[in-house]
């Protein structure tokens, strides 16, 4: 899904930007992960990612300057082929997160290519921050070879990393999480330890 859109349920001149945050959406539910916020500070309009998936959504950052409908995208994880949005909920193994949960998805338009990812995975932010780490984490579409070679594991669930799965990681500290673990809240004791270490570093 496009990072910047115009939506038919909102003012046509206002731009909505994709963000990872916690706020109340137009459907009165709390957004905990990815949604869209209006760039206009006066109206404070926001919505869930799923609420934005209706006909008439406009890509507000098209390369040629022309606004376009976003049913077809070119995702950076699969740059050689276009990907088409499938709105039907179907079960498949996602090439991003490795899970088989049902949901809307993007699939490659090339006949010989089987690349297929959840709509939610396609809309993941390029970077995010977690309470249990002091650097922003970058999205990677594969696990770097050095992480496999030295048997690094997810710092949230402690499970192995599959080479072709997407991860969020810190290149400085080698902090790594599966994308399906990235939005899980860390245990309170870990947050307390991080805050304590931050205080100690400030004093030194």
Closest C-alpha among 51, 50, 39, 36 to residue 13? 39
Whole-number pLDDT of residue 168: 94
Residue-level pLDDT at 63? 47
CATH topology of domain 72-122: Wheat Germ Agglutinin (Isolectin 2); domain 1 (3.30.60)
Distances (CA, A) of 179 to 89, 97, 113, 114, 165: 21, 6, 23, 21, 9
Report pLDDT for 73.
79
Do residues 147 and 160 lie in contact, with contact meaning Cβ atoms separated by under 8 Å? no
Distant-in-sequence contacts of 196-199, Cβ < 8 A, 24+ apart: 198/134
Instruction: State residue 69's pLDDT score.
Output: 43
Q: Report the C-alpha gap between 136 and 166 in whole angstroms.
A: 16
Q: CA-CA distance, 167 to 146, in Å (whole number)?
A: 14
For the question of whether the overall pTM of this predicted structure is more than 0.75, the answer is no
What integer pLDDT is reported at residue 64 of this predicted model? 45
Q: Which residues of the chain have pLDDT under 50?
A: 25, 31, 55, 63-69, 191
Domain ranges of the chain: 4-59, 72-122, 127-178
Question: pLDDT of 117-168, one tens digit each?
Answer: 998 888 888 888 888 888 889 999 999 999 999 999 999 888 999 898 999 9
């Amino acid at each position: 899904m496009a990072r910047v859109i115009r939506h038919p349920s909102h003012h046509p001149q206002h731009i909505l930007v994709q963000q990872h945050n916690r706020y109340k959406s137009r459907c009165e539910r709390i957004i905990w992960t990815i949604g869209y916020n209006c760039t206009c500070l006066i109206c404070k309009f926001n919505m869930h990612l799923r609420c934005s998936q209706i006909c008439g959504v406009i890509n507000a950052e098209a390369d040629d300057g022309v606004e376009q409908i976003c049913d077809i995208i070119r995702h950076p994880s699969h740059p050689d082929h276009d990907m088409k949005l499938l709105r039907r909920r179907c079960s498949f193994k996602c090439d991003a997160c490795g899970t088989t949960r049902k949901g809307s998805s993007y699939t490659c338009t090339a006949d010989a290519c089987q690349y297929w990812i959840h709509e939610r995975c396609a809309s993941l932010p390029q970077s995010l921050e977690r309470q249990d780490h002091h650097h922003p984490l970058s999205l990677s579409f594969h696990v770097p070879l050095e992480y496999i070679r030295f048997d690094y594991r997810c710092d949230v669930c402690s499970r192995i990393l599959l080479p072709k799965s997407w991860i969020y990681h810190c290149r400085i500290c080698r902090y790594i999480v599966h994308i399906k673990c990235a939005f899980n809240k860390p245990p309170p004791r870990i947050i307390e330890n991080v805050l304590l270490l931050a205080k100690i570093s400030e004093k030194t």
